[in-house]
Amino acid sequence: MLLSIYPDNPDERKIRQVVEVLEKGGVIIYPTDTVYGLGCDVNQSAAVEKICRIRRLDPRDAMLAMIFESISQISQFVPPLDNSTFKLLKKNLPGPFTFILPAAGNVPKMFRNKKKTIGARIPAHPIPLAIVMPWEGPS
């Protein structure tokens, strides 16, 4: 399936279709502020494995990044941030950076690597931000 989503005003219905694909274990290609990325629901281990196969990576060693819509969302998946790390994130995000942070215990095991870290990104692009924002249904 190919969906055209315009970044100036992402269509909520199309964003919901993308979220449904992810919830069912699908893999997507999406734009970021730098390049296109492959994405999946981190709770779907088969989807994470599929991305690793596509990229020819060993899932145990793969350095994968999670996309977030806010620093508060990142804080749900990492141990408490010290002030200097928080300030660094706040200064540079959203933007074209991936920060390598310690992974908290609630990060799906399939997504963590041997080093027990995650890559955290908040892209400055409306489409991935709309995909990862908590969706509350039609208003």
The domains found in the chain, sorted by start residue, are 12-132 (3.90.870.10)
pLDDT in tens, 15-43: 999 999 999 999 999 999 889 999 999 98
Mean local confidence (pLDDT), 71-78? 95
What three-state secondary structure class fits 27?
Answer: coil
Instruction: Note the pLDDT of residue 135.
Output: 54
Rounded distance between C-alpha atoms, residue 24 and residue 76, angstroms: 23
Is 60 exceeded by the pLDDT of residue 138? no
Q: Cα torsion for 107, 112, 117, 118, to the nearest 10°?
A: -70
Q: How far is CA 135 from CA 11, 30, 116, 124, in A?
A: 13, 18, 29, 19
Tokens of 13: 């219905």
Q: What is the mean pLDDT of the chain?
A: 91
In terms of DSSP bridges, do strands 99-102 and 28-31 run parallel, antiparallel, or are they unpaired? Answer: unpaired
> Distance (Å, rounded) from C-alpha 46 to C-alpha 69?
24
Q: What is the pLDDT of residue 37?
A: 93
- Give the per-residue pLDDT at 64: 87
**pLDDT for 48 beyond 80:** yes
Q: Write down the pLDDT at residue 139.
A: 37
pLDDT at 98 over 90: yes
Note whether 74 and 122 are within 8 A (CB): yes
**Burial (CB count <10 Å: 0-12, 13-18, 19+), residue 111:** buried
Would you state the structure tokens that stand for residue 103, as one six-digit string?
Answer: 């992974």
User: Which conformational region is residue 25 in: left (phi greater than 0), alpha (psi within -120 to 50 degrees), or beta?
Assistant: left
Tell me the two tokens of residue 32: 């970021």
Region 66-75: what's the mean pLDDT? Answer: 95
